[in-house]
């Protein structure tokens, strides 16, 4: 009896995300007022930044139109670690079997591992994010149900030449600082040649 309630809850949460996803830009006006809009603002309207850090693969023109529509409303991100092994592999297989276009973000460095709880909200791996719905740990029935509610097809609609993008780091990689310029050695004043060092070599 609890399953219809769960589906209703998921549908409600995902529908709220769909409304929020319509705003594509956050605009800070000259007076400091913040607004959200679905059109690219002009420079005179203020400073604009895209909304959402994980846009998924909705902009991939190789995707069928219907699938792009779903991916635009509910982009999918898979969070993995180097150590989660079979569980992460099974998560990738589930998404591949259903033909879900997704972005994979992997934790590889100590900096990534420190950021993991803050980004995914827990310590489990893998983590699936569908829109703003976050599912921590591999739980195929819950993953399938969430993808169903979001509107992803049960059977793959991906074109035959579709290729999954490589995983990207969980946190942004900062370029190494430029090497400091070596200071020039202090100049040594020329010593007068008194005849004991005819070549003028300084020791």
The pLDDT, as a whole number, for residue 43 is 66
The pLDDT, as a whole number, for residue 86 is 96
Residue 199 falls within a domain, yes or no? Answer: no
Which long-range contacts link 89-95 to residues 24+ away (Cβ below 8 Å)?
Answer: 90/138, 90/140, 91/126, 91/128, 91/138, 91/143, 94/140, 94/143, 94/144
Residue 182 falls within a domain, yes or no? Answer: no
The pLDDT, as a whole number, for residue 42 is 72
Q: Where does the pLDDT of residue 31 fall: very low under 50, low under 70, confident under 90, or very high at 90 and above?
A: confident
How far apart CA 47 and CA 26 sit, in angstroms, is 8
Asked whether residue 84 carries a pLDDT value surpassing 60, the answer given is yes
How far apart CA 55 and CA 152 sit, in angstroms, is 16
Residue range of the domain that includes 58: 52-169
Asked whether residue 4 carries a pLDDT value surpassing 50, the answer given is yes
Asked whether residue 58 carries a pLDDT value surpassing 70, the answer given is no
CATH of the domain at 99: 3.40.30.10
What mean pLDDT do residues 4-27 have?
49
Residue 181 falls within a domain, yes or no? Answer: no
Residue 130 falls within a domain, yes or no? Answer: yes
Domain count, the chain: 1
Residue 100 falls within a domain, yes or no? Answer: yes
Asked whether residue 40 carries a pLDDT value surpassing 50, the answer given is yes
The pLDDT, as a whole number, for residue 61 is 79
Residue 117 falls within a domain, yes or no? Answer: yes
Residue 109 falls within a domain, yes or no? Answer: yes
Mean residue pLDDT of the chain comes to: 78
The pLDDT, as a whole number, for residue 16 is 42
Residue 187 falls within a domain, yes or no? Answer: no
Which long-range contacts link 109-117 to residues 24+ away (Cβ below 8 Å)?
Answer: 109/169, 109/171, 111/171, 112/81, 112/169, 112/170, 112/171, 113/81, 115/170, 115/171, 116/79, 116/81, 116/170
């Amino acid at each position: 009896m609890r399953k219809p309630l769960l589906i209703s809850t998921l549908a409600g949460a995902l529908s709220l995300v769909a409304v929020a996803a319509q705003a594509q830009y956050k605009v800070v006006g000259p007076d400091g007022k913040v607004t959200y809009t679905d059109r690219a603002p002009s420079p005179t309207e203020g400073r604009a930044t895209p909304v959402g850090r994980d846009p998924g693969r909705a902009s991939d023109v190789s995707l069928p139109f219907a699938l792009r529509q779903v991916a635009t409303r509910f982009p999918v991100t898979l969070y993995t670690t180097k150590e989660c092994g079979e569980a992460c592999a099974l998560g990738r297989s589930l998404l591949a079997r259903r033909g879900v276009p997704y972005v994979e973000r992997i934790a590889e460095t100590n900096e990534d591992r420190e950021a993991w709880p803050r980004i995914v909200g827990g310590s489990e791996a893998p983590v699936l994010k569908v829109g703003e719905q976050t599912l921590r740990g591999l739980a195929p029935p819950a993953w399938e149900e969430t993808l169903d509610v979001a509107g992803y097809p049960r059977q793959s609609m991906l074109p035959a030449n579709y290729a999954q993008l490589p995983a990207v780091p969980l946190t942004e990689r900062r370029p190494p600082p430029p090497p400091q310029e070596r200071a020039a050695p202090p100049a040594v004043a020329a010593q007068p040649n008194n005849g004991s060092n005819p070549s003028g070599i300084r020791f």
